[in-house]
Amino acid sequence: TFSSFIIFADSHLELFDQQRRKWKEEKSRLMKRLKELQENLDKVTQSGRDDRDQLMEKLKDLQENLDEVTQSGSEERDKLMESLKDLQEDLDEVTLAKEDAEQQVVNLKAESKVNEEHMKELKEPLSTIQQTQDDYRPKESCEWVISRDEIFLTDEMLGEGAWGNVLLGRFRGCKVAVKQVHSLVLSPSSRSSFLREMKIASRCRHPYLLQFIGATNDEGTPLLVTELIETSLRALLNLEYQPLSDSGISIISLDVALALNYLHQTKPLPIIHRDLSSANVLLWRHGLQWRGKVSDYGTANFMQQTMTVAPGAMIYSAPEALTSNHTIKVA
């Protein structure tokens, strides 16, 4: 019937409305989801643009850096090429200078050869002239030279030094001190210097200098003969039970000073001891008092030979003597 149809239609219409509402809700949900996706897409698109812009900026910076490096490398290359050119010019100059020097050496060798031949021509007449002068030159006597046969040596050692050993000996019936000079000290080049020093020692006469008697002058080991003294200042100082008094020290010091003053006033050139120490101050008794004598002055050098660094024992040297800049001082 019609009413039944109406009821049926209403029921289906209600179902249709319900279904339509569901579709609208689903549509609304889908539209909302679509909007969210669109927003995300816009964000991703914008982020991509930003990243691209950043990459493009970095690429631009890298290109600028590359251009700068390329320009700098070109400038450095130009500088290196310029330096290489200068070095080549310097090398050419050095090569020319070397060639000139080699040529000068050749010329000098040739001149030297000519001079040697000329010297050979002059040598023979010069030798003849020198021989003639030697024949007419008066022979100098060496009064200090004594024969080795007159010296008797014992085995008693009195002391040791840089020049040699000192032994007890006898000379013409008297006890003496005999110094045996080391053969290494007297090389052929230094023997003439030794003879000159012995000549100086033979002329020294002073109560506070060790008396030099003489020396041998033959092919054997040189022997120096001096008077025999009781002891040395060093040996006495090593004896703790015999200390020196203040007055004794003053007297010995005065003796040494007077001896050095005598040597310093030697003419024409002063004698400088340069190796004065307690071992070179010998002592002898005058009554109850020790008196001093300076030894080894015969091996001292002349004034012009004294300007060497650190002569003698370092502990006895003046501070300025340890350098090469000290001045000559004669008291």
Q: Which residues are catalytic?
A: 275
Determine the distance from the C-alpha atom of residue 121 to the mean position of all C-alpha atoms in its chain, rounded to a whole number.
Answer: 47
Annotated binding site for ATP: 179
CB atoms closer than 10 angstroms to residue 65: 10
CB 213 within 8 A of CB 235: no
Q: Where are the alpha helices (DSSP H) in 216-330?
A: 233-237, 246-264
Determine the distance from the C-alpha atom of residue 168 to the mean position of all C-alpha atoms in its chain, rounded to a whole number.
Answer: 44
CB 279 within 8 A of CB 232: yes
Helix (H, G, I), strand (E, B) or coil at 327: coil
Q: Quick one: which H or E segment has residue 224?
A: strand 223-227
Q: Label residues 296-315 b or e (16+ Cβ within 10 Å = b).
A: bbbbbbbbeebeeeebbeee
What's the chain's length in residues?
Answer: 331
CB atoms closer than 10 angstroms to residue 145: 15
CB 263 within 8 A of CB 330: no
Q: The tokens 């030297």 sit on which residue? A: 112
Annotated binding site: 179
Q: How far apart are CA 317 and CA 331, in angstroms?
A: 15
Q: Which residues are bridge partners to 177 per DSSP?
A: 168, 226
Q: How far apart are CA 208 and CA 256, in angstroms?
A: 7
Q: How far apart are CA 166 and CA 179, in angstroms?
A: 4
- Alpha-carbon dihedral of residues 63, 69, 75, 78, nearest 10 degrees? -110
Q: How far apart are CA 250 and CA 253, in angstroms?
A: 5
